[in-house]
Structure formats: structure tokens, C-alpha cells
Structure 1
Amino acid sequence: MSNESLLLKVEGVSKQFEGNKVLKDINFSLEKGKILALVGENGAGKSTLMKILFGMTVIAETGGYEGQIYLDGEKINFKNPIDALKAGIGMVHQEFSLIPGFTTTENILLNMEKTKSNVISKVLGKRLETVDMKEMRKSAQKAIETLGVQLNPDTLVSEMPVGHKQFIEIAREIDREKVKILILDEPTAVLTESEAEILLKSIRRLADLGVSIIFISHRLHEVTSACDSLVVLRDGVVVVERPVEGVSVRQIAEWMVGRDVDNKKSEEIKFVDATDNNKDIILEVKNLWVDMPGETVKNVSFSVKRGEIFGVGGLAGQGKLGIPNGILGLFAADGEVIFNNKSLPLNSTFNALKSGLAFVSEDRRGVGLLLDEPIDWNIAFDAMQIQEKFLKRFLGGLIKWRDDKAMKECAQKYIKSLEIKCTSEKQHTRQLSGGNQQKVCLAKAFALEPSLLFVSEPTRGIDVGAKKLVLDSLRRYNAENNTTIVMVSSELEELKSICNRIAIVSEGKVSGILSPNAEAADFGLLMSGEHHLIEEGEKL
């Protein structure tokens, strides 16, 4: 590697939090116009390393870091993200930093607004110029077109699905001038495979234009197809740095976890056989519609058998995410839902949870977690509010007091069973990696001991090792408690690995329900709305 092509060099970087060393002697380099994949299990140190590069204030506030970082041959040590942006480093974080009440255009151009002069500004100065919305919309549209996606520049962020929000985050960084390095921290975690493919083509175009990219992803096939080089972190240490060419997905996975990866179903888990047509129906949905922006449900009907794992799949924007969000009352809904032979009132989250439902949302940070509260509070909160668990009662129940001991025991049980990487049950969930936050969301739902559990994109943003653990946990919970699970996922192979039956949603309706053993082409036909081309006998 010549000095002319070298853009970024990291030498001996180490970092610790409260005595816990999360990065140990990190060394790697990045060339101009190249895409470097940074991979590792949740908690391996990827996000911490990127926070150092981007000058996040949490690094300086916790004692800084050891080692040196060079950008274009000059030593850097940013004190805040503004310094990093000025130096040409942009970053798209796992968590969104959008303003819900602003439009797509306003978020993309935030702090980069285009203005035009007026009579007052000509006299009193540029600070009194007015915002030029016409030029801003043009600039935003240009960034959107670079990504190759369909986004309305005038739509409010609060009215769009999670996948669209991710594209806005990326478009904002693309729109910045003089970007040398773009850090993408799990940019495809909230995207479907088709959306991710569009994004990968976009970042390849950016690299061809000379922008270097650090690409963090748990979708390892994206690493092998789109990246030039690879750095693997394990327990805060670089275990591999090499070109991607000639590396298999399985090899990367084994480097990440430090052991052989087996994606087969665990032999020790006994699976519930819910394929028997004589089993009773626990959930029946009739003519459901849900007004969820970007995931509208128009007329969905299906039934779920007691004790089965029922899958819901489909392409982005077709309505699959709207089903659980509507039934649980997060978005306006109408139709009929019968749960345990009783009509379930819609548009009431409290009533749904009180009836024995639970929900793990696809938006774990926005809906699923109390980010500034500890793990034990997060796990126990819904059960305490809905079922009055984890409470001590005095004077015949007139006085109720939080049972900290019971909360601690419950949290420690799930920390162990779900392998949540944390300092203790008192660590705030905001400080956890994305995958460990998702595990807390699962624990929170399990603590409710529901009769039926909705899980929406349960492995989004989770590494290959943790993904297997989460899926096995769902299987085990289903088998040991006879809990019915409705799993909504964009990953068809995941659904096929865990579900008894899979419904495909297209254009806001269920286009068909298939066995997980059905041909891939049949699933593809259902996703495209061509259900009439599938023999009726192949449907369940």
C-alpha cells in the first residue's frame, strides 16, 4: 500500500470503560476510495472504535483513548463530532438522529440549510436570510437519487417506516461537502434485502468517486459482495485484517465467534408440533386494516393455531410490519381480532397486553426500551405496570412498593439465559450494543409470560452468533411454555428455519400461507402478488 493511497491509519488504539477494557491494541488501515468491512459479534468493540474515530464526546468524558490515529498522514484526536465533520469524516449511527416533526428535506439539510437574501438581510447581514426551500428540496432530491430509492422530500419523518428513516440518515451524510470517509454502522440492519442491495450499489458508486467507507454489518454476504478489505474484531482485539477476495461467509462467521458455526436447529430443543389441523385457534384476524405510514394493512385475514410459531413475511412497504403494530394498538386499526375466543378491542395497547399479548417491536430504541433506565427496570417495567408483578403489598394492598430483589433476580435470569453482555443488571440500556438491547426487549416480553408473543424483526442488527441464540430462545420459550409466537421478519430463511407456517403479505393483504418446506419460487410468487400461479394444494 503506497503512502499516496493510504487515507486512514489506526495504531495501537485501546479504550476502557469503568475498568473494563473494550478495545485492546487495535491496528488497521484504509485506502482512498475503498470499502473496509468491520465485523464482529455484538460487544466486540466495533461501535466504540467508530465513536473514537468520529470524536463522540462520550470518549473524552470517559478518559479518552490510548494509541494514535492518522488521517491523510496527520495525527488526529477529535474532541467532538463537529471536528470530525470538518475533517471530512461522516457517520451514520445505529440509532437515528432525526427530528420526527421535520420533513425528509429538512432532516437531510439539517444545519446545512440553503438560504436566500431578502431586504432585511441585505441591510442587517446574512444571519437574517430566509430558508430557500426550493433549493433545499433540489439538494435533498439529488442525495435521494444518489441512493437510488423512492423517498418523498416532503413527508414527515414521524410518518414513515424505519427503513425510510435509515435512507434519510445516509442521504444526509452523502449531501455533505468534502466527505473523505463515511462510517456506516449497521446501515442495512433495518432494511430488507432488496433495499440493502440498492444501498450497496450506492456505496460502491461513492467509493468509485473517491470516498472511503467503513462498513459495519452483520449480513456477512454483504461483506463478501461489496467490500474490498476486512477487519474482524473479537473481544476488543483485531483477529483478522485482510482483503475480502477469496473469503467465504462461513469463514468470517467462524473468525467472529471463534468457533464452528452451525445454523441447524439445536438438537436439545423439543419443538411443538402445531401442524395438526385439529389444534384450536388462539388468534383469528378478520379484515384487518392498519393506518401505518409506509406499511399500510388493507385487508388482512388469517388464523394462528395454539402453540405454533407462525411467520409473517413479505417485501418492504407491503404491510407486514403494520399487522402487529395495529393489533397492539400502536397505529390506528379496524377490523376484527378474536383472541382466546374473545373479541380483542383494537386501538388499545393496554388492553392488548392485559389480555395476554406481548410485542417485541422492530423499533427497539423508539418503542421497546427505556434507554436511560437500567436493564432490570426495562425487563420488569411492563410486567409491573400491566400485571402488577415485582411489587410488595402492605396493608392488604393499599400500599404497593417496588420489589427490587425480585427485579434483580428476574434480570439476572435473563442476562444469563440470553447471554446479555453487560456490567450488571444496573447498566443503562443506552450503553449496550444494538444486539444486547434487542435481547433486553425479548427478556421484557418473556417477563410478561404471554399466551401469544408478537416479535417483529427479532434479529435485526444482531450478529451471526447472537442471531442463533435469539432464534433458539424463541424456539425454547415456545416449546417449554406452549407460547404461541407470531414472528414478522424480512429474512425469509429465518422464517423457514423456525416457523410452522409462513404467511406472505403483499399490497396490504395475505397473498398466501405456505409450509416452510415450500419451494423458494412459490414464496417469490406470493411476494410479487402472483398467488394464482401456485396450486391450491401447496398452500396450508
Structure 2
Amino acid sequence: MASEPLLKMEGVGKAYFSNRVLKNVNFTLEKGQILGLVGENGAGKSTLMNILFGMTVIRETGGYEGDIFIDGERIDFNSPFDALRAGIGMVHQEFSLIPGFSVSENVVLNRETTKYNPLVEAFGDRLRTLDRATMVERGRKAIDKLNVSLDPNTMVSELPVGYKQFTEIAREIDKENTRLLVLDEPTAVLTESEADILLASMKRLASLGISIIFISHRLQEVLDVCDKIVILRDGEVVYDTAPDQTDVMSIASHMVGRDVATAFARDEEERKFGDTLLSVEHLWVDMPGETVRDVSMEIKEGEIFGIGGLAGQGKLGIANGIMGMFPAGGKVVFQGKPIVLNDPTSALEAGMSAVYEDRRGVGLLLEEPISWNIIFTALQMQGRFLKPLLGGITKIRDEEAIAECAREYVKSLEIRCVNERQRVQELSGGNQQKVCLAKAFETRPKLLFVAEPTRGIDVGAKKVVLDTLKLYNKKYGTTVVMVSSELEELRSICDRIAIVDSGRIVGTLPAITPSTEFGVLMLGVAKEEEKVGS
């Protein structure tokens, strides 16, 4: 008789009040198998994993339909602690690390190794002390399984974002009873080389008998590492296949329900720009993991300017420094007037705005509704969405105007939600990203910095985001500076692209330049050739 699969889902469904997010989901996962779970943002992936992991939000909103079996036994976890005890680990898309703790302390958190001391005899195990040497060794062993160079004594606050991801995964690996690991967009913040290391580590874990559910929008990675692929669209399984029976375009088309072959085609129309809008001279920014050492550039009015490069080379630090988020120095001139660095209000009042890479930490008020998030900065900085009361003596919020504004963005950006009053923390990552964009657009900036706008979102949502950036640039004349690790997306939308390496711009090329030339700049090959020839 054949053994039971490790995981089996039968007829799983879920509705949040009148909003149906899952319907009749069925699939199996064998021991030591890697399953790729893909779908557009809002397709139901996160809700399905929340059900599996026993997240309290599921029970608080009426539970779910259908059955889930682990090793043939029906389960219905009351909390994530039940899932953890059953050997299910989950690495969420957003980090849950303690910045003030070291890597090893985060890896063993709530499972610390302790040691005996004489006080235990009198006061019991509560007086046992931490065995820090063993804890560091446990952290080192978990990290070694990922084959990355990471000191377990390093403080998490000092790590680049990619290494925070490795720390999250190492924490799950350290748990001795882990037999099913859910990875939600684990490579979204990694460079190509870091992603390759992680994919190889996933295969090693699978060879040890650990099953993995791999949620990713990087479809080629799904094809490269998975044993089977399940595609969700509008809460239903629309495709269940093996990697050798499909390809990237077929997966993408099933995800969005339409042909995506031309999703990122360039517009070849001739574009004209105004005078220099932003001038940067010898900018330095002290941003941990993204240090900027010496950047000079000029951006024309009406241009879509791209900034690319590998993770940790400083590309993210440029916008953060100009917008006053991290200590910075140098000279920044906008519309002929100097910007006061280290003062966030200076850039905002001058007409600049930004969508930051850390949407949850910086960009959003998670406990507040979509509408309040969208208009918050415009209200605070520009005094909009207020109406006079008592003959103008005082002002109150114009709730009707706020709701109408939010509804327009929900429609134009295709934000999947119940309505504009839904709390942002209940949205998928891609829809949160769209709310960040709407918030920035509503300040009506002359120049908009957008950092990693498509990170962690699906191919359909990527097209909406990129098309929206092009629309605002063309219709309203908004100058856009897009910072991204995705070179082909930069090439599809930008007019020029600057490549950052070691905190400096090593070259600026027209976006139509072959991608190989950008690759040479990213890898520092050009600099090495200059050294050899000098």
C-alpha cells in the first residue's frame, strides 16, 4: 500500500465576510518534495498558508471549509504553536527579526540553550543561564546548511536585507522537528548569486526529507527547483503540473488568464525632456548595507531615470539620503534650489516624494484603512482633504473626498480589497505596494523616487505598476527615478539607467543599450579592465 502524502488539501475554501478568496483547493505534497505555489497577488496564496499554519485571523473570521491532512491525519490547528509542534515552519515575506539581537540569538529565539548553575538548586530552572557558546554554535550550523558567509555574532540591525532573509530561514532550519517548510518569496530580496545559494540549499533540505512549499513570483526559479507546480487564480487551482511539462510564459498566462508575452515591451516613441530638474554632486549616505560613497548625476525634467546594481552596492541609499531618511552629505539641487539634507521636510516641501523599499516599516500605516493611507501625506504636508467648519474658524477632514479619492486609486491600480475602508495589513504584499504608490501619487510630486516597485509582486501586478508609472510620467509630467534590482524592468520603462557599484555610479547608459553592457558594469568588469590597462 502506498504511503500517505505528507500534506493533502481537499476542498479548502475561505471567505472573509462577502469576499471569497479561496474555493475548492485540492493538491498533495510528498515527503522531500518541493512544491511551487504561484499566482497573482490576491490569488489566495497567503490565505491558504495562513490556514495551514493555524493563523488566528482565520479562526477569528469564521474558519475555513474543507480538510487538511498531515501524514494521513486530519488537522485543524488553533494557533501557529500547534503548527510548529507538528513540524511546520514558515518564513513570511515580511521579516520578524529583533534588530537589537545577534544573528544567533534570532536563530534560537524562544528555544535558547541554557546551562546549570548553583542557584538552580535553590530557585529552580528559572535561574538557569544562557549557554551563549552553544547558541552561537547552533546558529553557525544552521547558517552553514545555507552555505552563506555570515557571522552568527553580527547584529541583525547591521545586516543587508538579503542576509536578514537567510537569518529567517536559518531559524526554521534550527528547529529539529521541522518536516514541512513554507517559504514565502524568500528570494525577492536576494541578488542572483544569493538566490542561487538558497535554491541549492532548498534542494539539500529536500534530500534530507524536508518538504517545501516555495511561493515565488520568480517563475524561472520555480521551474529550476520545484518538483511540481500549483497555480492559483482568483482563489482556485487552475493548473497543477510538473516543471518539465510547462514553461515561464505558460505559467504566467495561467496566473493572469491572458497572454503576457508583450507585458514588458518598450515604447519606441521618441521622447523629449526639459532642463535639468535634479542635480546631485558628491552625495554620500550612511545607510547600513547600502552605503553611498560618492554619487554625482543629473536628471532631466520629464525623464524616467533608472538606478540599478547588485544588492548592497548603494543604489537604495541614494533616494533615502536625498529624502532625509539616513545621514547624508554633498550637494543636491532641485529646480535650481538647494535641498537641505538630513531634513525630510525639505525634499517633500520642494515637490519630491518617494515609495520606499520597506513598505511595511516606512511606507504604510498598517492598522489604518486604505483611504487614510492614501491621503495621509497629502493631508499632513499639503493641508488637503480638509473642509472649513464654523465659517472657516476651524477645519475637519473631508471624509467624502477622502473616500472618493481612494476609490479612484483602487480602480485605476486594481487594488484587490473589500472596499477602501479595509485595513492595509489585511492586503497582500502586492496590493500594499499599490497603496504605497497611490499615497505617493496623491502628493502630486514633480519628482518621484520609486524603490523596488515590483519586489514580491506577480507578473500581472508588475505590468499594472509599471504602466501606472509610465502613465503618470506621460500624462502629468512626473519625473520618475526608479531604483530596482530587475534590469529588464528598468530597460522596459526607463530612458537612461545608471549602474551603482561600491557606492558610486560606474556608468550611465541609454535603456536601449544591450543588457550585456549593463551586466559588465554591475560586475565591475569595466573597472578591472581599466586597472589592467593603466
What TM-score, normalized to structure 2? 0.96
Map of 2:426 onto structure 1: 431
Residue 169 of structure 1 aligns with which residue?
168
SS at match of 1:42: coil
- Residue 4 of structure 1 corresponds to 3
1:131 corresponds to which letter in structure 2? Answer: L
| Alignment map for 1:255-266 (pairs within 5 Å) | 255-264=254-263
Residue 281 of structure 1 is matched in structure 2 by 276
2:65 aligned partner: 66
Deviates more, 1:514-523 or 1:369-378: 514-523
Equivalent position amino acid for 2:514 in 1 = E
Distance, in Å, in 1 between the alignment partners of 2:435 and 2:351 is 19
4+ long deviations beyond 6 Å = 269-272
Q: What is the match of residue 196 of structure 1? A: 195
Partner residue in 2 for 1:231: 230
Give the distance between the partners of 1:518 and 1:249, measured in 2 at CA: 25
1:310-321 alignment runs, 5 A limit: 310-321=305-316
Q: Distance in 2 between matches of 1:150 and 1:310?
A: 34
Deviation at 1:464, TM superposition (A): 0.6
In 2, are the aligned partners of 1:5 and 1:32 still within 8 Å (CA)? no
Contact 1:272 1:478 in 2 (8 A): no
- 1:40 and 1:52 map into 2 onto residues whose CA distance is 17
Contact 1:240 1:255 in 2 (8 A): yes
* Residue 34 (structure 1) shift: 0.7
1:144 is matched with which residue?
Answer: 143
CA distance in 2: counterparts of 1:477 and 1:122, whole angstroms: 70
Change beyond 3 A, Cα 1:285–1:71 = same
Q: Does 1:41 align with 2:36?
A: no
Q: 2:398 aligns with which of 393, 403, 407?
A: 403
Give the distance between the partners of 1:480 and 1:527, measured in 2 at CA. 33
**Counterpart residue identity of residue 503, structure 1:** A
| Structure 1 position 398, deviation (Å) | 4.5
Question: Any unmatched runs of 5+ in structure 1?
Answer: 536-540
1:275-328 alpha-carbon deviations (Å, 9 max, x no partner): x6xx41111111111111111111111111111111000111111111111111
Equivalent in the alignment of 1:495: 490
User: Cα distance, 1:397 vs. partner?
Assistant: 5.3
* Number of the residue aligned with 1:480: 475
Structure 2 gap segments, 5+ residues each: none
Matches within 5 A, 1:320-339: 320-339=315-334
Identical positions, percent = 61
Which of 492, 495, 499 does residue 504 from structure 1 map onto? 499
Separation in 2, partners of 1:438, 1:341: 32
What is the aligned-residue RMSD (CA, Å)?
1.8
For residues 35-434 of structure 1, the aligned pairs below 5 Å read 35-264=34-263, 273-274=271-272, 279-394=274-389, 398-434=393-429
| Structure 1 Cα separation of the partners of residues 264 and 470 of structure 2 | 9
Residues in 1 aligned to 2:529 and 2:458: alpha-carbon distance in whole angstroms: 35
1:450 aligned residue (433, 445, 448): 445
- After TM superposition, the score normalised by the length of structure 1 is 0.95
Partner amino acid for 1:281?
A: T
Aligned residues: 530
CA distance 1:481–1:142, change in 2 (3 Å): same
Q: Which moved more, 1:350-359 or 1:428-437?
A: 350-359
Distance across 1 between alignment mates of 2:390 and 2:330: 44
| C-alpha deviation, 1:270, in angstroms | 9.4
State how far apart, in whole Å, the 1-side matches of 2:529 and 2:474 are: 32
CA shift, 1:241, in A, is 1.3
Deviations 1:332-375 (A, max 9, x none): 11111111111100111122111111100111111110000000
Letter in 2 for 1:464: V
C-alpha distance after superposition, 1:89-118 (max 9, x if no partner): 000112222222222222111101111111
Moved more, 525-534 or 61-70: 525-534
User: Do the aligned partners of residues 397 and 98 (structure 1) sit closer, same or farther apart at CA in structure 2, a change above 3 Å counting?
Assistant: farther
Segment drifting more, 256-265 vs 195-204: 256-265
Residue identity in the other structure for 2:47: T
Q: Which whole-Å CA distance do the structure 2 matches of 1:270 and 1:436 have between them?
A: 29
* Contact 2:90–2:172 (Cα < 8 Å) also in 1: yes
Take 2:4 and 2:226, find their aligned partners in 1: how far apart are those partners?
17
Q: In the aligned structure 2, how far is the partner of 1:392 from the partner of 1:408?
A: 14
**How many Å separate the matches in 2 of 1:349 and 1:151?**
33
Provide, for residues 385-423 of structure 1, a one-character-per-residue CA deviation record: whole Å limited to 9, x for no partner.
Answer: 111111113467541211111111111111110000011
Q: Deviations over 1:228-286 (max 9, x none)?
A: 0011111111111122223100000111111111334579x896714x6xx41111111
Indicate how the Cα distance of structure 1 residues 170 and 263 shifts in structure 2: closer, same or farther if over 3 A, else same. Answer: farther
Question: In 2, distance between residues paired with 1:384 and 1:193?
Answer: 40
CA distance in structure 2 between the aligned counterparts of 1:533 and 1:162, rounded to whole angstroms: 27
